[in-house]
Amino acid sequence: MTITRRRALALLGAGVGGGGYLWHTRSVPAGDLGPETRPDVTDDHLEELVRGNAAFAAELLRRFADEEPNANHLFSPVSLATALAMARAGARGETATQLSETLAFPPEDDLHPAVGALLYDLNARAEDAAAPSLVDRIRGGREFDLTVATALWGQAGYPYREAFLETLESNYGAGLREVDFAGDADGARSSVNEWIADATGGRIDELLPAQSVTDDTRLVATNAVALLADWDEAFDPDDTRDRPFTALDGSSEEVPMMSQTDDFPYARIDGHQAIELPYVGGDVSMVVVLPAEGEFEALEADLGPDLLGTFFDALEEREVGIDLPRFEFDVEFGLADALGDLGMPDAFDPDDANFEGVAPTDHGSDALYLYDVHHEAYVSVDEEGTEAVAATGLSGGLASGPMTVTVDRPFLFVVRDRTTDAVLFLGRVVDAARAGS
């Protein structure tokens, strides 16, 4: 049969405990957890990837804030970057240029090994935390689980280029899974959704809604990141009290506020406060950024790798009291319009998209284009820790005695890998009452 229509290249994302293009965890088969060996990459190229991803994340968060200023939001920058880097492996011409510039990617020869190295490193964090310390054994054990998984779903018999498949296999650990989009689109969709549900511990059970996969679909790339982690210093539930939280719109409502005083990395810059709450193992943490009173929107507008780096570098351990709302919420959205507006419209245009690197075309009659990017993310933060996180926050404090950070107004939260500064999840909580757990 001669194919005369352009076919769809789909990238998906799901996030558990944060956000992400596609973040999956725990029950994912070992073969999905990135490359088997760490790709050879320089520290500079890895830093360039992480810094570019933070810049993209800040731009995306600002877009969400402009569209819904009074809404809580979160997503996984690392997951989004991983999925879109997989698309970059098959993009050519102006499509490739737009994608690289929008995501602030390193040059392609450096991009894929850098992503692969980051995936390899992140999946090693749980192994590093697997051997409990004496304190953990006395406490009965605590939990830290971080997994980043990828998968590639393609039409059986379709002429994918070997170079494209090899790039994804060697750098992402994403071997091709053959399905029949053309003959059984809904069955293929169910296979993808089942993988996502397994990868996210059932938190995300239908990333791809009905009709999102059709007989024109030819490729689906999935990436999942999931975090289930206990705090290194847990909050005592007996210290949680209902206290007022003033939302961005000025309304105030009481919410459950966790409280503790201990030694934490802390920084205060121009009236803005940041406190870092490490998870078990110490490799991953949540940084809560509390802007100065009345300056949330101004700080959010300035957010980027330089500002984040300034906060991260300024963190110094000291005795700090922290009052932090419990919160839990999820989000799901398509990103085609946002990514197009941010600088990569050609990828979503059937007439302009160039994914010649994925599969050869027959005089342009069977060209691929990216029809959407689905993303779903979930976060839950309580006294014990974070499930599938995307968290960051700041709080205001006193100038004498133990510093006190009271997060009783809009804040940002960042879940970061402390070794690389990779932003696993980025979010904003501007109305804690609507994010109640």
Ordered per-residue pLDDT tens for the chain, 437 residues: 222 233 344 444 333 332 222 222 334 445 588 888 999 999 999 999 999 999 999 999 999 999 999 999 989 999 889 989 999 999 999 999 999 999 999 999 999 999 999 999 998 888 776 555 544 544 555 688 888 888 888 889 888 999 999 999 999 988 889 999 889 988 988 988 888 888 777 777 777 777 778 888 888 888 888 888 889 999 999 999 999 999 999 999 999 999 999 999 999 999 999 999 999 889 999 999 999 999 999 999 999 999 999 999 999 999 999 999 999 888 888 888 999 999 999 998 888 889 899 888 764 446 788 878 888 888 888 888 775 432 111 111 112 345 678 899 999 999 999 999 999 999 999 999 988 65
Structure token pair of residue 245: 């939280």
Domain range annotation of the chain: 7-230+329-379, 237-325+390-435
Three-state DSSP state, 164 = helix
- Looking at 2.30.39.10, 3.30.420.40, 3.30.420.10, 3.40.50.720, the CATH number of the domain 237-325+390-435 comes to 2.30.39.10
Q: How many angstroms separate the CA atoms of 395 and 325, rounded?
A: 11
Distances (CA, A) of 98 to 95, 104, 278: 5, 10, 36
Distances (CA, A) of 372 to 64, 174, 337: 17, 20, 9
Which residue is listed with tokens 């956000």? 19
Distances (CA, A) of 292 to 255, 270, 353: 21, 8, 44
| Phi, psi at 368, each rounded to 5° | -95, 150
Q: How many angstroms separate the CA atoms of 225 and 390, rounded?
A: 10
Query: Quick one: pLDDT at residue 215?
Result: 82
Q: Cα torsion for 291, 294, 300, 301, to the nearest 10°?
A: -140
Cβ count near 313 (within 10 Å): 10
Cβ(200)–Cβ(226) below 8 Å? yes
Which residue is listed with tokens 């070794």? 419
364: left (phi over 0), alpha (psi -120 to 50) or beta: left
Cβ(135)–Cβ(281) below 8 Å? no
Q: DSSP labels for 90-143? A: T--HHHHHHHHHHHTPPPHHHHHHHHHHHHHHHHHHHHHT-S--HHHHHHT---
Query: Quick one: pLDDT at residue 323?
Result: 94
Structure token pair of residue 190: 């169910």
Query: Quick one: pLDDT at residue 130?
Result: 58
Residues 6+ apart with CB under 8 A from 53: 77, 78, 81, 103, 104, 422, 423
Q: How many angstroms separate the CA atoms of 259 and 240, rounded?
A: 6
Q: How many angstroms separate the CA atoms of 214 and 150, rounded?
A: 22
Superfamily (CATH H level) for 7-230+329-379: Antithrombin, subunit I, domain 2 (3.30.497.10)
Query: Quick one: pLDDT at residue 138?
Result: 45
Query: Quick one: pLDDT at residue 16?
Result: 39
Q: How many angstroms separate the CA atoms of 314 and 289, rounded?
A: 12
Q: Cα torsion for 227, 228, 233, 237, to the nearest 10°?
A: 130
Distances (CA, A) of 29 to 32, 113, 174: 6, 22, 12
| Phi, psi at 156, each rounded to 5° | -60, 130
Give 30's strand partners: none
Q: How many angstroms separate the CA atoms of 224 and 142, rounded?
A: 23
Query: Quick one: pLDDT at residue 11?
Result: 43
Q: How many residues does the chain have?
A: 437
Structure token pair of residue 169: 């296999």
First to last CA, the chain: 54
Give 279's strand partners: 231
Cβ(225)–Cβ(147) below 8 Å? yes
Cβ(423)–Cβ(54) below 8 Å? yes
Cβ(273)–Cβ(405) below 8 Å? yes
